[in-house]
Structures are given as C-alpha cells and as structure tokens.
Amino acid sequence: MSKTTPFYPRHLAAGGKMVEFAGYQLPIQFRGIIPEHHRVRTTVGVFDVSHMGRIKVWGRDALQFINQMTTNDASNLAVNQAQYSVMCYPDGGIVDDLVIYRLPDHYLLVVNGANNEKDTAWLREHLTGDVRLENVTTEVAQLAIQGPKSEACLQKISSIDLSPIGFYWAAEGTVAGVNVLISRTGYTGEDGFELYIPAEQALKVWDAVMAAGKEFEIEPIGLGARDTLRLEMKYCLYGNDIDQTTNPLEAGLGFVVKLDKPGGFIGVDVLQQVAREKPRRRLVCLETENRAIPRPKLTVYANGDPVGFVTSGTLSPSLNKGIALAYVQREFASVGNKLTIELRGTRHQVVVVAPPFYKHGSRKK
C-alpha cells in the first residue's frame, strides 16, 4: 500500500493524475507536462516534494560525522546556509545526492525519497561519538515554489523579507501564520523557494500559496514537468544518472567533492585515484536536431562503435528538441563532438553540448 503526502487531498481536487513514486501517491501531471513546464519557466508553479527524505542530525560531533559521510565540506557552512553534496560508498559509488542545511541547533539532511530508508540505515551504521539522528520525514511537509514570480508570490504571505535570502540560504519565518523554514533552493533552474512545514499545517500553507499566486496564474506542477525542468539544467536524478555504479567525478559533480578535506570522507581514496587517472567516462549533455527523443539505456555510438549509454532523455519543452544525459568514454565527451544513437532502426545524430541545456533560468546567484 503506497503512502500519501499531507497535500494528497489537494492533488485529487486539482485533478492530478496520480502515480506511485518513491512509495507515495504523487501527481505525474495536472494540465499536462508541457504547459506545466512552461508555467514554471514563465511565472510560478508549486511542487509537492514531501516524498523527499528529511533527516535531522545533531550532537557535539555532528559536523565531523557529516563531513565523514559526505564529499563536500560542511565546515564552511554558516548558520542557515545550505549545501549540495553527495554520499559515497568506500568504492566511490554514490549512495545518494542530498542537500545539507546548517540550522541554529541541528543539521537537516534532505535526501531522495526512494533512498530515504537506505540512507537513514547507512548513516546509522556509521554513527560515532556524540551524534543523534532522527528521521523526521513524516512530521514535516516540503513544498517547492518555483519560477520567476515565486518571490513576488510568496512575499505576500511571508512574515519576513525574502529578498535578502541568497541562493542556497534559508531563514525561519511564518507563511500564512505557520512557522516554516524558508529556503531559496529548488531543482528547476528558476528562482524559487522550498518550505519545510509542520505536516499538520501543510494544507493551510498550500491554500495560502495558491491564493497568493492567483495573479501569477500559479498552478500545481506534477512529477513529469519536475523531470523535464531538472533535465534541462543537467541536474542529476538518482537512479537514472547517478547510482552506486557511478562516481561523482564522472557524473560532473566534482564541484561538491573536496578531495583534500581534512579527515577525508568515505570513498575519498578511490576518488583521489579516479581524479589522478581522470574518469574513463563522462556524463555529457546530448542534443538531437529534431524531435527524436533519446530514451534511457539507449546505446551511444561513435563511428559505428558503442561508446556509451543514455541515462535520462526527454523532449525539452523549452528547446523543442530531444535532450539526453549519457555516459560516454572520455575521448568522445568534448563539447561539439558528434555521436549517434539508434532509434527504431534509424541512426540519429546527436551532438555533445555544454550544460545546462536551458540557459535562461531566473535562478538567483
């Protein structure tokens, strides 16, 4: 039996086409993937991301523990600052990608919904010293408000001034009279916020956000558009683009891997070696010249020889052409390189392009 998020009744009321995702009943779409995608790129949309896992970590040795478990350096975090990071296995394979918040009296780790139990167990297994850990996923609802009008929308019902909150920073405040954590984060390439809301107050906040956004034609957005939006930005999806068989360096996530962090982290030895020898393959952005859509698992060819495979692919609603992420051997990974994929017996040319696919997002720096 799949679970429901606190926003479930609103998805049904809005005509959401429900599917099971990460163990939850969630909307794949409401009005349609393409119109919902454009709504987020042009004004504002709302995503229920309550299926994400939320794990509280605190105690005297919490920072040391987090630094051991993740590849980025959490010691640089100021209070109310957030950080994108990765957890690795000792062989360098990826346990999960996550966002770490340093809050006044604890850390909050936000992990992929499908990995929530696995990650919690993995973290518990490695607990040392004075560290406490609590999975608070069911107590907290998470709502993403994304798009160029998200600040204007949310400001109407927020007790605090949102304009000083920088990208990947958070603040405590009230929204519609409910105490929430407001963070300027998201996975769409647009400016936006994620709200962490006590579950029992979730519907009150949803209704207020929808009312405040009416003048911007706010809409609920489904998982379908969430995927096309993140893919246009080359944001990785765990289970497609990254998993235990891939490492963060080949996935292009080296910017969150601090190989010389004091004390190291799980997997650092292998990743140092990968860095020395250079990854043998790279996760690259591929574009087709038409609406031929590369799908996951398709083989990528260079001069007739297989050199890689697609991990995510879709029609880009913003660019109106097929886009894909694919692992290809390093020597074929340069921008401008022409490769081919085979779709229903026909070879189609694809070209390696620089990330992101979509370059006109409103994301704040």
- In whole angstroms, the minimum distance from the beta carbon of 1 to another protein comes to 15
Nearer to another protein by Cβ, of 278 and 295: the residue is 295
Is 209 one of the binding residues for another protein (CB under 8 A)?
no
In this structure, what token pair is assigned to residue 154?
A: 């949310």
ω into residue 356 within 30 of 0, thus cis? yes
In this structure, what token pair is assigned to residue 308?
A: 């890689």
Task: Select from 290, 353, 286, 275 the least CA-distant residue to 321.
Answer: 290
Nearer to another protein by Cβ, of 138 and 290: the residue is 290
Indicate which single residue of 28, 157, 259, 319 sits in contact with another protein (rule: CB under 8 A).
28
- In whole angstroms, the minimum distance from the beta carbon of 347 to another protein comes to 15
The whole-angstrom separation of Cα 283 and Cα 85 is 17
- In whole angstroms, the minimum distance from the beta carbon of 355 to another protein comes to 20
Is 32 one of the binding residues for another protein (CB under 8 A)?
yes
Residues 266/90, Cβ–Cβ less than 8 Å: yes
> Which single residue is written with the structure tokens 């790129």?
41
In this structure, what token pair is assigned to residue 74?
A: 């959490």
The interface with another protein within residues 211-230 (CB under 8 A) comprises 224, 228
Q: How far apart are the two ends of the chain, measured CA to CA in Å?
A: 42
Task: Select from 90, 113, 124, 23 the least CA-distant residue to 244.
Answer: 90
Is 45 one of the binding residues for another protein (CB under 8 A)?
no
Indicate which single residue of 9, 17, 129, 200 sits in contact with another protein (rule: CB under 8 A).
17
The interface with another protein within residues 281-300 (CB under 8 A) comprises 290-293, 295
The interface with another protein within residues 318-347 (CB under 8 A) comprises 320, 344
Nearer to another protein by Cβ, of 27 and 308: the residue is 27
Is 18 one of the binding residues for another protein (CB under 8 A)?
no
- In whole angstroms, the minimum distance from the beta carbon of 298 to another protein comes to 11
C-alpha atoms less than 13 angstroms from C-alpha of 48 in its C-beta half-sphere: 32
How many binding residues for another protein (CB under 8 A)? Answer: 18
Other beta carbons within 10 angstroms of residue 134's beta carbon come to 13
Is 314 one of the binding residues for another protein (CB under 8 A)?
yes
Burial of 63: CB neighbours in 10 Å, binned 0-12, 13-18, 19+: middle
Residues 182/155, Cβ–Cβ less than 8 Å: no
CA 91 to chain centre: 23
Longest dimension (CA), the chain: 61
Is 252 one of the binding residues for another protein (CB under 8 A)?
no
Nearer to another protein by Cβ, of 92 and 224: the residue is 224
Residue ranges of E strands in 239-304: 281-288, 299-302
* DSSP state at residue 348: E
Of 4-12, 108-116, 181-189, 309-317, which part binds another protein (CB under 8 A)? 309-317
Is 76 one of the binding residues for another protein (CB under 8 A)?
no
Nearer to another protein by Cβ, of 156 and 321: the residue is 321
Evaluated on CA atoms 180, 68, 273, 111, the torsion sign reads negative
Nearer to another protein by Cβ, of 127 and 315: the residue is 315
- In whole angstroms, the minimum distance from the beta carbon of 228 to another protein comes to 6
Nearer to another protein by Cβ, of 43 and 228: the residue is 228
Rule CB under 8 A: which residues touch another protein? Answer: 17, 28-29, 32-34, 224, 228, 290-293, 295, 314-315, 317, 320, 344
